[in-house]
């Protein structure tokens, strides 16, 4: 019963096969391998972006930090949600990679609203050389609370950003999970909605460790390459990053896998909704949920070895009825039996 994260499950068999397949003979190092040509083509086709520059790195934090650094001067500020991964979970990597840019927190929840964004951006207007200058807007899709921006919501944000000529980054660590919910095309969720650069996640959705950064305008491609190398994120045996991403894109594995993860989570949600006293902190939309149930249920889960984050409160405590929040994540690999067992344990 592993609901702690979508980075704890196994790698998809098709990706393991692709790694084995790639492991033949010699290949050019540092991204000049032939498989990378396929990756580039597949991403350009999937995103209807024939000019896009595409790069691979091994961690989501690298993808985000390098994407931001390529679009942000050190005297600027990045606008993002206070619960964004770049703010809360990257140990100052964005500050490091941008050379000390600031992160300005927009609003007070998972999703930024256009009003919040406009207000935050406008505020920076008034300080001239004294305050940081306006830099990129970073949007997380799926958000860190499991919610999803609709296409209209995305466009409303990018419209504000574009008014001020700000570049827009999408942290798509769970890009596919959002896409299959929205039922739109990759282009619609990105450049057609005004996004300039995407961290396109693979690791959380069945890969071993690979993320693509897609720059729809290739003019910063060479700068990105240099920043990647300088950040020590250029792989010598790059073909093994390429092979993962290639297999991920082949036969829509990325979509199939995301659908499976979302379906697994839907099963979990359905089970939990049926239980009296379970409530959802954020309306579940993808494969991460936040829900509250009594300490006694948490203790049963804990005793049974279930792995997940107790998000608010502590397992230790006197009152068995006190509601504690759980953060539960389903990846593609979780099996129905584990889900059902988890639900049964909550029910008690």
Q: Interaction with a copy of itself in 97-126: which residues (CB under 8 A)?
A: 97-103, 105
Q: Name which of 134 and 155 has its Cβ closer to a copy of itself.
A: 134
Q: Name which of 68 and 278 has its Cβ closer to a copy of itself.
A: 68
Q: Name which of 15 and 278 has its Cβ closer to a copy of itself.
A: 15
Q: Name which of 158 and 333 has its Cβ closer to a copy of itself.
A: 333
What is d(CA 10, CA 208) in angstroms, rounded to the nearest whole number? Answer: 8
Stretch that binds a copy of itself, among 4-12, 142-150, 257-265, 288-296 (CB under 8 A): 4-12
Give the full edge-to-edge strand order of the sheet including 279-280. 279-280, 288-294, 323-329, 309-312
Q: Is 95 in the site for a copy of itself (CB under 8 A)?
A: yes
Q: Is 259 in the site for a copy of itself (CB under 8 A)?
A: no
Enter the tokens of residue 188: 């619609």
Q: Is 317 in the site for a copy of itself (CB under 8 A)?
A: no
Q: Name which of 88 and 115 has its Cβ closer to a copy of itself.
A: 88
Using CB under 8 A, pick the residue from 38, 109, 133, 256 that binds a copy of itself.
Answer: 133
CA separation (Å) from 52 to 152, 197, 218, 289, 301?
24, 9, 6, 33, 46
Residues 6+ apart with CB under 8 A from 183: none
Using CB under 8 A, pick the residue from 19, 187, 221, 275 that binds a copy of itself.
Answer: 19
Using CB under 8 A, pick the residue from 18, 81, 121, 132 that binds a copy of itself.
Answer: 132
Q: Which helix (H) or strand (E) holds 311?
A: strand 309-312
Q: Name which of 19 and 181 has its Cβ closer to a copy of itself.
A: 19
Question: Taking the complex as a whole, how short is the minimal distance between the CB of residue 59 and a copy of itself, in angstroms?
Answer: 5
CB atoms within 10 A of CB 91: 9
Question: With the C-alpha atoms ordered 82, 83, 85, 87, is the resulting torsion angle positive or negative?
Answer: positive
Q: Is 307 in the site for a copy of itself (CB under 8 A)?
A: yes
Question: With the C-alpha atoms ordered 31, 177, 87, 151, is the resulting torsion angle positive or negative?
Answer: positive
Enter the tokens of residue 216: 């729809």
Peptide bond into 187 cis (omega under 30): no
Using CB under 8 A, pick the residue from 37, 185, 218, 237 that binds a copy of itself.
Answer: 237
Q: Is 9 in the site for a copy of itself (CB under 8 A)?
A: yes
Q: Is 129 in the site for a copy of itself (CB under 8 A)?
A: yes
Based on C-alpha coordinates, what's the Rg of the chain?
21
Using CB under 8 A, pick the residue from 175, 191, 200, 235 that binds a copy of itself.
Answer: 235
Using CB under 8 A, pick the residue from 26, 152, 316, 318 that binds a copy of itself.
Answer: 26
The three-class DSSP label of residue 201 is strand
Q: Name which of 130 and 183 has its Cβ closer to a copy of itself.
A: 130
What is d(CA 122, CA 116) in angstroms, rounded to the nearest whole number? Answer: 10
Using CB under 8 A, pick the residue from 47, 149, 240, 254 that binds a copy of itself.
Answer: 240
**Chain residues 53-72 in contact with a copy of itself, contact rule CB under 8 A:** 57-62, 65-66
Name the residue among 169, 196, 183 with its Cα closest to residue 81: 169
What is d(CA 93, CA 128) in angstroms, rounded to the nearest whole number? Answer: 27
What is d(CA 211, CA 209) in angstroms, rounded to the nearest whole number? Answer: 7
Q: Is 90 in the site for a copy of itself (CB under 8 A)?
A: yes
**Chain residues 204-233 in contact with a copy of itself, contact rule CB under 8 A:** 204, 208-209, 223, 225-227, 229-233
Q: Is 46 in the site for a copy of itself (CB under 8 A)?
A: no
Q: Is 10 in the site for a copy of itself (CB under 8 A)?
A: yes
CB atoms within 10 A of CB 162: 15
Size of the site for a copy of itself (CB under 8 A): 73
Q: Which helix (H) or strand (E) holds 336?
A: helix 336-347
């Amino acid at each position: 019963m592993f609901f702690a994260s979508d980075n704890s499950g196994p790698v998809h068999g098709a990706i393991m096969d692709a790694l084995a397949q790639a492991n033949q003979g010699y290949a050019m190092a540092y991204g000049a391998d032939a498989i990378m040509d396929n990756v580039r083509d597949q991403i350009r086709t999937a995103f209807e972006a024939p000019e896009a520059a595409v790069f691979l790195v091994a961690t989501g934090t690298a993808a985000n930090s390098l994407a931001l650094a390529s679009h942000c001067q050190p005297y600027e500020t990045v606008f993002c949600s206070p619960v964004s991964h770049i703010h809360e979970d990257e140990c100052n990597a964005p500050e490091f990679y941008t050379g000390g840019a600031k992160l300005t927190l927009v609003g007070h929840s998972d999703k930024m609203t256009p009003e919040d964004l406009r207000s935050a951006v406008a505020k920076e207007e008034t300080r001239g050389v004294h305050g940081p200058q306006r830099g990129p807007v970073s949007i997380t899709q799926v958000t860190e609370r499991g919610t999803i921006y609709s296409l209209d919501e995305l466009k409303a944000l990018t419209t504000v950003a574009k008014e001020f000529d700000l570049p827009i980054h999408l942290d798509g660590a769970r890009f596919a999970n959002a896409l299959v919910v929205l039922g739109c095309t990759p282009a619609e969720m990105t450049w057609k909605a005004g996004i300039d650069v995407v961290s396109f996640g693979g690791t959380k959705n069945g890969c071993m460790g690979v993320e693509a950064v897609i720059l729809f305008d290739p003019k910063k491609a060479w700068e990105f390459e240099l920043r990647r190398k300088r950040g020590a994120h250029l792989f010598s045996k790059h073909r093994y990053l390429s092979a993962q991403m290639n297999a991920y894109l082949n036969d829509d594995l990325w979509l199939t896998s995301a659908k499976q993860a979302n379906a697994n989570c839907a099963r979990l949600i359905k089970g939990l909704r049926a239980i009296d006293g379970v409530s959802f902190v954020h309306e579940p939309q993808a494969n991460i949920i936040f829900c509250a149930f009594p300490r006694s249920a948490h203790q049963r889960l804990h005793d049974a070895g279930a792995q997940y984050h107790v998000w608010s409160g502590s397992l230790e405590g006197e009152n068995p009825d006190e509601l504690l929040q759980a953060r539960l994540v389903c990846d593609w690999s979780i099996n129905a039996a584990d889900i059902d067992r988890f639900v049964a344990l909550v029910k008690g």
